[in-house]
Chains A and B, each alone.
Chain A
Amino acid sequence: MKTKVLAIDDSRTIRNLLAATLEEAGFEYHCAVDGREGVDMYAGVAPDVVITDINMPNLDGFGVIEELRGTDINSKVPILVLTTESAPEMKARARDAGATGWITKPFDDQSLIFALKRVTGAVA
């Protein structure tokens, strides 16, 4: 079984990069173009891990984490934040909402895969 990743990012470039990186590394890749779509897709995709951007239209990354961890969805899967933001207070906010980890863009393939393995135990 491939590890299923749901990536939520409003940048087509980043989505394409993630798709290339993750599919090459053997992950099953799904993506959403904004926070709202990501949350809506969650149940259908049933991912093993979520990667989300912070700055997005229609529900930002914090909103995504809050909704996924909220009682309605009550997701237990790891949620990695992938963003250019690196301000500590942003990270604190994300963690308080229930984020699993924080990856700073630009990401390199190796650290991304490494991070995914650490949170999912995926053998890619």
Chain B
Amino acid sequence: MSGSIQDTFFEECEELLEAMDEGLTAVEGGDHDPEIVNAVFRAVHSIKGGAGAFGLDELVGFAHKFETVFDEVRSNKVQLDTKLIQLLLRCSDHLADLVAVARDGGSTDEEHHDTLIAGLEEYLDEEEEELTFEPMGLGGPAAPPPLAIESEKNYTIRFQPLKEMFGTGNEPFFLFQALSELGDLKVVLDESELPGFDSMDMAESYLAWDLELTSSEPQSRVEAVFEFVEGLCELSIASDKDDEEEAAALEALNAAFGADAGPLGSGLPEVTPPAAAPAEAPETDTSGPFEAPAPAEEVKVAEAEPVEQAEAASPEAAKKEQRGPKPTLRVELERVDRLINAVGELIINHSMLAQQIANLNAGDMRDVETELEGFKNLARDIQEGVMAIRAQPVKPLFQRMARIVREASSATEKQAKLINEGENTEVDKTVIERLSDPLTHILRNAVDHGLEKPEDREAAGKSRVGEIRLSASHRSGSVCIEIKDDGAGINRPKVKQIAIEKGLIPENAELTDSEIDNLLFLPGFSTAKEVSNLSGRGVGMDVVKNAVTGLGGRISITSTPGKGSTFTIILPLTLAVMDGMVVSVGGQTMVVPITSIVETMRGSDDMINSLGADGTLLSIRGNFVPICDVAGALGLMKPDDQPPGVYLLVETETGQRSALAVDDIHDQRQVVIKSLDGVCGNIPGVAAATILGDGKIAMILDPESIISAGGTAGFDTERRMSNAIAS
């Protein structure tokens, strides 16, 4: 039972940490709206509360300090300056670490922990520091342990409620019932103060009770019954036995109550009646009426009419009311995925049905076709709806990146600030999950290699603080993620030299700027002379590229010396369905993603220009574009001497255009992507497979890798590079 609740706790922690990060980032950005500060406070507070329930002491301790500082901010006792914001940001990172440690085991850097605690304590009064998390009242587990006194005692209890008690929902009868569970109880009602019926005031309290309790329980247990009504009644508890042990327990109890006004035990003094008490300023009295029956508090209770107060306060409270968040539903991911699969099958089923009907030759089929079209549209609606369930804003991912940049800049002694844009752009959940590592790596690189040291930046006339812009946007059926830094840009001569040294390109290679920039993505490339502890973790940009292409995406880089570099990642909106163009290549049916096709055209001989032995160019409106023979690139047999009839003009992320030569175009339709992973591994040029309407399997092509795999000899850098490696 508690296991699953603990899971809930960690799940909730993730959400709370996100909310906290979001709030802190807003605060860092200069938004000191009290509601944001409140939200952060509540997030930390909830983490503390939950952690306490599971005895996660380290987490509780840290969260408490963190929260207390935030409380000071909230009540304007502490000013939010840059230093404090930086501290709070580091603390939020550490809190996330502590949560992770509590969940997954391991340990955190103790020194770091202590530094942060010390940092937080600078903002706390000494008085606040003493406020530990130990519960003070009897309600908590730290209530004085029952003493091992087995002997029976006779308690004499006098209980007389003040009228205020009745406004708090406390009911004498239930108290007696609780008492009777401790032992043998005799209750005698004292109604001697009850006035005549005519002069009775309904709001007044006239009754008192004399109770005789025989119990082996210690006095602390008896007192605990009256915990909630302390200060709301006149109470005396006396017992016929008193031993040292009990006196000690009493002392502990008094300490817990913070009551130095007098012992609560056998000699409990009669509380001064309200009317007779001098009207001391109740505000200055910090002793709690729930715990210590201090006379001054009595006065406060008596003077302030609870009901009126409630009335006065409620309109204000109503004003504070805000519209709640939109109602949400939490669903297991697996259920959604099942639905997505079913929708995929539905789409396949639709195309099969369409094909069957087309094969019928049954005269006028217009009605059927209309309905079929409706079916198709509905299927698409359902598919988009289901995809929307899986879609999530990139915000949490982007927020985590702020931390990466913070850590990277402190490790490299650089100053960097991350600006997030388009955080609400929604992307498939899996894409978001698998994007985390590549983004982390690119950002570390941006700080480590992209941004200059503060001195150098100043010398170059830039602000000391480097700026990294992380943005997400939708771009024609794809998601575009850009990481742009304002650093020094790529040092092209150096990159080229390294590539030559490592044998990645021939010494005499003539490369365009963009080709040089994209050398960074080659396996085994690393510009750092010495492996820095930050980005040089044996992971190169090639891994980033693989991760992105694994998601069906593309990555490219552009750079301007002195101005900075921009990484652009283009990802498909979903990983399950896409729009494809069905073509035939070398006698086989294949699918090319629509998103990569710029234009299609039928070729004629006069458009084709030979270039050397194995190169051909397609002339389009005065421009020449290299032709890539898809069948050749895939190693398929070409029908003899039949020139490819159709060209698909595609554009790679680096802006290179190529014309993919295919035999024919059949159709444009939505296809369900079936991964080939685990079936036949990675085939160059093939991204995945799909099932067509006739039940046949068709490969989904990856134009970019087809272009690099061959076909456009003499025009492609990577081909030359791979040749160089091979030789």
Chain A interface residues toward B at CB < 8 A:
10-14, 16-17, 20, 34, 36-37, 53, 55-59, 62-63, 65-67, 69-72, 75-79, 83-84, 86-89, 91-92, 94-108, 111-112, 114-115, 117-121
Contacts and interface: CB of A to CB of B under 8 A. Distances in A.
Contacts of A96: 300-301, 304, 306, 309
Contact of A91 (B135, B175, B291): B291
B214 interface: no
Contact of A100 (B139, B140, B228): B228
B204 interface: no
Contacts, number: 206
Nearest to A117: B178
Q: Which 6 pairs of residues, A with B, have the shortest CB-CB distance?
A: A88-B288, A101-B228, A103-B139, A104-B135, A106-B52, A121-B174
19 contacts: A13-B8, A13-B49, A16-B8, A34-B324, A69-B306, A75-B169, A78-B169, A84-B133, A86-B136, A88-B286, A95-B290, A96-B306, A98-B310, A100-B170, A106-B135, A106-B141, A107-B141, A114-B224, A121-B174
A17 B46 CA distance: 13
B176 to A, nearest CB: 9
B599 interface: no
Given A69-B306, A86-B135, A88-B258, A117 B174 contact: yes
B177 A63 contact: no
Nearest to A104: B135
A121 B140 contact: no
Contacts of B11: 12
Given A111-B139, A119-B174, A88 B287 contact: yes
A111 B50 CA distance: 17
B167 interface: yes
Interface of B: 1-2, 4-5, 8-9, 11-12, 38-39, 41-42, 45-46, 48-50, 52-53, 55, 131, 133, 135-141, 143, 167-171, 173-175, 177-178, 181, 224-225, 227-228, 231-232, 258, 286-292, 297, 300-301, 304, 306-307, 309-311, 313-314, 317-318, 320-322, 324
Nearest to A12: B12
B14 to A, nearest CB: 11
Contact of B137 (A16, A76, A102): A102
B169 A107 contact: no
Nearest to B257: A88
B174 A20 contact: no
A44 B143 CA distance: 36
Contact of A119 (B140, B171, B224): B171
Contacts of A63: 313-314, 317, 320
A102 B53 contact: no
Contacts of B137: 86, 102-104
Given A84-B52, A96-B301, A115-B139, A69 B173 contact: no
A66 B317 contact: yes
Given A11-B12, A107-B140, 11 more contacts: A12-B11, A14-B46, A37-B324, A58-B322, A66-B310, A95-B289, A95-B301, A103-B137, A103-B139, A105-B53, A120-B174
Contacts of A111: 138-141, 143
A55 B52 contact: no
A5 to B, nearest CB: 14
A97 B39 contact: no
Contacts of A69: 167, 306-307, 310
Nearest to A69: B310
Contacts of B324: 34, 36-37, 58
Nearest to B315: A70
B288 A14 contact: no
B169 A20 contact: no
A63 B315 CA distance: 10
B227 to A, nearest CB: 7
B301 A11 contact: no
B227 A84 contact: no
Nearest to A37: B324
A76 B169 contact: yes
B49 A14 contact: yes
Identify which of A11, A62, A67 gathers the most chain B CB atoms within 10 Å of its CB.
Answer: A11
Contact of A67 (B170, B289, B314): B314
Contact of B314 (A37, A66, A91, A99): A66
A12 B165 CA distance: 32
A118 B228 contact: yes
Nearest to A63: B317
Given A91-B290, A117-B177, A13 B53 contact: yes
B143 to A, nearest CB: 7
Contacts of B50: 11, 13-14
Nearest to B287: A88
A33 B476 CA distance: 40
A13 B47 CA distance: 9
Contacts of A66: 309-310, 313-314, 317
A70 B311 contact: yes
Contacts of B38: 57
A96 B307 CA distance: 9
A62 to B, nearest CB: 8
A121 B173 contact: yes
B306 A98 contact: yes
B49 A105 contact: yes
Contacts of B288: 87-89, 91-92
B169 A77 contact: yes
A95 B173 CA distance: 20
A97 B310 contact: yes
Scoring B2, B167, B291 by chain A CB atoms within 10 A of each residue's CB, the highest score goes to B167
A13 B314 CA distance: 29
Contacts of B290: 88, 91-92, 94-95, 101-102
B171 A78 contact: yes
B39 A13 contact: no
Contacts of B225: 118
B42 A100 contact: no
